[in-house]
Structure 1
């Protein structure tokens, strides 16, 4: 009689694509194609792109000819075709599109299944309107409309909540995702260097610990064609706050503009973290009303 316990199936794997996206969507799309091929060959179940994966350009007049309503944009269909080509689920990071009313832009994420179907959309809610100690000034709301809907979607890695970059600083958003069943949260980003050095890793680990979720954050990195610099350090964090992958900064030489990292996303890690620190039970038992 065989008494050897059955081994658990391997955890599905996330592939984080760190990019230095520029002002040429075709070049960015070609880099994504190469990265997805490498991710599929490496056994990933799902690839994650950074914020503004197909176009990163501060010059709004120059970028305007590329920006259309989703129904008129070639970009979602191009990403759907890549998901089918590589047999891989894809999180688009985000792409700039015109809002349906045509007045302002939206910063929109798509979750695309391996059969090419779009399973979810999410428009970045919180606009990055800040003046940093470094002197950088950003006013996203002058061109972009913030989203209004929370999105959680089933994926091969678990039930995933969607967010983008500056959303990271609003923990109530992530608590609402957990209340809707999320065990995994995507946070694609194009973080500035100064805020990244100060806050990136601690915020990513905090969101993982306080939600008991895996965090997958693909990032932009390096010096871009529009002149900006981004922090990089695409990270995957487990529900206990352990960093499973960190891509560092920059893009590897000769890689066509991306750096790839792999991380397992084990559902058992969610169970262990939530059993050890039972936040939901503690909330239910608290004696004050917030």
Structure 2
């Protein structure tokens, strides 16, 4: 985005299925936002407004066109963001750094292969899900289970758990519109079973090829879409035989296609990435 005068910070506002971002170009050596700046940028009344901030930086290794990092609205960092990965890919295509329809980008969680699809969407290889409890991390369980149970304020809570580079729990519900997202989400994030907190998904199976999902994200709250959360929900539901291995996950902000051919394969997530506007932050 080029150099700017002191006090100015050029940015792009983008969204992927309603999950919105402020994108900053740090490839020329600009410093990443500290927690205070991240919070000001993310403020929807006094700032630009976003769920997360994405910083585009030089590639870490050969074979990638760039790397990026993810900052939550509260200034904390994140390891993975599927919707953000698609927005970074679209930004790099517009910038000219990414040539052709296939290229690689580096997230904090590792390398992602990207394909630009004929309809303008982007498909991103999100890696292999991690199911071992200690690596999610989920404490109190020694072995992988399709369903875990913990006590939460006197009630038994049943959920699936997976890491997509960031920790997720998935609770299957009968009607996602009535799910207790605002009540259960924060309680689970503060539960001792999740030492690094957790993203909390509430999933409703519509049919074998379609599920609906709401996600309460770490450091943000409920968002219109969560790409890694859609992958996590698909993993849990596909392993239970509740969804086909190629399915649509509908979130409040739009639809994502999740493909996971088998348990040993990488997950591929496909969906939109949209530019909203470019601007300069004068703070």
TM-score in terms of structure 1 length: 0.29
TM-score in terms of structure 2 length: 0.29
Q: Which structure carries more helix by proportion?
A: 1
Q: Which structure carries more strand by proportion?
A: 2
